[in-house]
Amino acid sequence: MHFINTLLLSASAASMAAAATTPQYLTLGSLNSNTPSGITTPAYSIISFPITDSKTKASTTCTVKWDWTKKPSSSYTACTDNSFSVKVSNYNSITDFKLDLQHQYNTKTGKKCVNANGTGCTTTLASTTVSKSSAGFQTYCGASGACGAVSKKGVQVAVSSSKTGTQK
């Protein structure tokens, strides 16, 4: 009986260790970025993509849009589900930029936190670079002069940090 209990405890500990070390990803699917061609005003550069959190299974679509003659905002833009947000940083062109991703959720409900510092509110951060040389992305410029980037497939972006708040 002792042998069976030892096996069960070992198996349970191993599965708990595996669960604790499973990396969390934010998966981007079919990212498209475009700058206008045949420009009429107002004209916008646009980056749009679906995103899914591997831990919570929550998903939404994120779109960042800005006047093509300027750079994108340096602030986070809320996605369709506002528990997700995205910021375009290190912007050089529509085919060379960095995406900073954020997902903030209540660990009990999976929904957006009412109080970011509240008990059980988790904020995860991740970032990825979109360029001709970065994995998972392909860039292009068409004959009309429009340029952009497209993801070849869903790109997994590892969560770089995760912080759970405590009630103040």
What's the pTM value of the predicted model, to 2 decimals? 0.76
> How would residue 13 be classed by pLDDT, with cut points 50, 70 and 90?
very low
Show Cβ contacts of residue 18 under 8 Å, excluding neighbours closer than 6 positions.
Answer: none
Domain layout of the chain by residue ranges: 24-164
| pLDDT value of residue 152 | 63
User: What pLDDT does 116 receive?
Assistant: 67
> 22-36: per-residue pLDDT in tens?
788 899 888 888 877
- Predicted confidence (pLDDT) per residue in 47-81, tens digit: 999 999 998 899 999 999 998 889 999 999 999 99
